[in-house]
Amino acid sequence: MPAIAPSRLGSRLRVVPRALARNLLGPRVRPTEVRRVLVAHHLLAGDVLMLAPLLAKLRVAHPAAEVVMTVRKAMLALFDGRPFGVRALPYDPRDATTLDALCTTEGYDIAYVPGDNRYSWLAAAAGARWIVAFEGDRPRPKSWPVDETRSYRDRPAAWGDMVADLVDGPAPAPMRPSDWPRPRCAPFDRPQGCYAVLHVEASTPLKHWEPAKWWQLAERLAEQGLHIVWSAGPGGEPLLEEIDPQGRYPRLGHRLDLAQLWHLVADAALLVCPDTSVMHIGRLVATPTVALYGPSATDLFGPGDFLRGIPYRAITIPDFPCRDQNRLFKREIQWVRRCQRSMRECDSPRCMHAIGVDEVAETSLALARDFRA
């Protein structure tokens, strides 16, 4: 018999009745004493790493509270050092058993939903007595369990900084690399000497730079004494083969799990990559990072106030004509300028191809040189 694909139905059959029961218990009051906090979401890796300002602010606002956050199973290893004192629990909407550790009899005094408001139902099912989320999500039933809404800022800001606005109080102090302890990882063949990680892949081909330009950049950096290490996602071997068919430089990143990749980036003298999760790792560990932005918005996904002062440069073509969409988690924000088109709507990443090798090479060498100085 063919294998049955995992389904969200099992989780929904447990979440919805529990959430409805909570809503039928009568009026809710925001707790004055906060001992347990839940951050409920099912975000992708890059978005999770952008939650660092929220986690830092929670630790200051509730120094003695237990802070629990849902993460995808693949990300658990990054939290084994308990950054900001957060305990990460695996959550998969297609695996009802992941609800067991989350839905305890203790419940949570307050829960924060940083992305899609559908996870307010998860927070309610987990016993959250008060739920805070951003306004404006659609359709409206996703937000029924929410008790308190906040609005996104009306002027350009980093999403990580805006997510921290869910929590009352002053902005958190700027990030220090020691705030996020290095995760434990299995041994791997670590590069020697002063090396640059060129991570060439992203979540969509519309964020990919041309292979020929990656090769030219590698040659320019190598001429200045940097050892080149290619990196990509788990399925990125064909792309690396296209860029460097002779295998002149080692290919490593696509063979590593997230914890190993964290170490690879943390020990590098330079990271060059598209706007992807590896970029966020580079910024959190304070590795000099040059990010290539095509469809993404540099202000929305930049370091913001929390990561100010880190060695980082963004390269993009300002006001690219088709970077004209303004939605963020299904909310319209007037100042946002990004492109979320699919390959069916856009057959070529012209915004990425417009970025020149000279600018990337010169910026990369200057940033690495300044950092080493």
The answer on pLDDT for 100 being more than 80 is yes
Per-residue pLDDT band for 28 (boundaries 50, 70, 90) equals confident
Of the given ranges (32-36, 150-154, 233-237, 351-355), which has the lowest mean pLDDT?
Answer: 233-237
Phi, psi at 27, each rounded to 5°: -55, 145
- Is pTM, for the whole model, over 0.85? yes
- Integer Cα distance of 277 and 289 in angstroms: 12
- 187-212: per-residue pLDDT in tens? 999 999 999 999 999 999 999 999 99
The answer on pLDDT for 259 being more than 80 is yes
- Integer Cα distance of 201 and 33 in angstroms: 45
Pair 330, 318: CB distance under 8 Å: no
Q: Which CATH superfamily is domain 32-171 in?
A: Glycogen Phosphorylase B; (3.40.50.2000)
Domain range summary for the chain, segments of one domain joined by +: 32-171, 195-372
The yes-or-no answer to whether 32-171 and 195-372 have a common fold is: yes
Of the given ranges (5-14, 109-118, 252-261, 314-323), which has the lowest mean pLDDT?
Answer: 5-14
Q: Which CATH class is domain 195-372?
A: alpha beta
Phi, psi at 366, each rounded to 5°: -65, -40
pLDDT recorded at residue 373: 58
Mean pLDDT on 22-47:
89
- Integer Cα distance of 95 and 100 in angstroms: 10
pLDDT recorded at residue 2: 44
pLDDT recorded at residue 25: 67
The answer on pLDDT for 18 being more than 90 is no
- Integer Cα distance of 126 and 104 in angstroms: 7
Cα-Cα-Cα-Cα dihedral sign, residues 127, 128, 131, 133: negative
- In which order are the strands placed within the sheet that holds 148-150? 86-90, 66-71, 36-39, 110-113, 131-134, 148-150
